[in-house]
Structure 1
Amino acid sequence: MGLRSVLAMGVDRINEFIHKAEPITAFLGYRLVELSEGRACAELDAGENAQRVGGMLHGGVIMTALDETMGFAALTLNDGDDQVTVELKVNFLEPGVKKPFKICGQVVRRGNRIAVVEGEVRDADGRLIAKALGTWYYLKK
């Protein structure tokens, strides 16, 4: 399935697709809720599968959700065949305890082969719990 056809499916069908293609998203309770040019947002229910000891959102889950969401933001501007994450830096600012969590990614700059994307995770009260910056490489034949 091509990139354009995935994006044309709408968020409900994209969620069905990614939950099958990338089962970790379903396992963690991740779902895309918004997709527009250069931007993507998702929600994370953060059930037991996403928590660390103490009932907090696990840092690896935060990184996974940011990678997925920021990747979707980059994907909306990708006219190539595929893309890969080159680098992802995350600052963990507060413990994630109040769910659901909202994850958003926004393309800062798109070049010919790369996109720089910023992302953030907020808790149910809107408190910023993580901030990220990443780079995606567009694969072209």
Structure 2
Amino acid sequence: MSSSVAPCALFERVSQSFARQGMMRHLEARLLRVESGCVEVALAYGDKVSQQQGGFHGGAMGTLADIAGGYAGLTVAPQGMEVTTVEYKINFLRSFQNGELRATGRVVKAGQRIIVTSAQVVHVGADGKESVCAVMQQTLVPVPQTY
């Protein structure tokens, strides 16, 4: 499975699907970059994504990693197909407040039946300092697009 789609068309494909994600709208996540086999998304700190001690919630970090990896997988899936997550494993390395999270998903292996991706979640502080806060590995399955 490989993508020979033009960069603008690839961004449009991912962007249209991303816009359909109620969770992404609710969390106000942003699509930053789309390349074949690589997608980056961002999530600003706020009440919607915090946990009881004031840091980014692990669920928000996991969601962002899942989305980045999933859309990286979509960039190599055939036209007319979507991808769905079968499983992912995430390690939370550090907790942060304020700033924003940026997750970069990358395709590790694109097969016809499964696509394996990884994602790294980085915290970007107000001072611009970047710190890795989570890493994820994910298995996706291509499914027919239903919309």
Q: What TM-score, normalized to structure 2?
A: 0.81
CA offsets 1:31-77 (integer angstroms, 9 cap, x no match): 11000000000111121101111221011111111111111000000
Q: Which residue is equivalent to 2:113?
A: 113
Q: Which residue is equivalent to 1:88?
A: 88
2:15 corresponds to 1:14:
yes
Structure 2: segments with no counterpart, 5+ residues: none
Q: Which residue is equivalent to 1:75?
A: 74
Name the amino acid aligned to 2:114. Answer: I
Computed over aligned residues only, the root mean square deviation of the Cα atoms, in angstroms, reads 2.2
Residues in 2 aligned to 1:31 and 1:110: alpha-carbon distance in whole angstroms:
25
SS for the counterpart of 1:127 is strand
Residues in 1 aligned to 2:57 and 2:70: alpha-carbon distance in whole angstroms:
20
Q: Which residue is equivalent to 1:47?
A: 46
Using the aligned pairs only, state the percent identity. Answer: 26
SS for the counterpart of 1:8 is helix
SS for the counterpart of 2:45 is coil
Residues in 1 aligned to 2:81 and 2:110: alpha-carbon distance in whole angstroms:
16
SS for the counterpart of 1:102 is strand
CA contact (8 A) 2:46 2:98 kept: no
Q: How does 1:116-135 map to 2 (within 5 A)?
A: 116-124=116-124, 125-135=129-139
2:59 corresponds to 1:60:
yes
Name the amino acid aligned to 1:67. Answer: D
Structure 1: segments with no counterpart, 5+ residues: none
Alignment size in residue pairs: 133
Q: What TM-score, normalized to structure 1?
A: 0.84
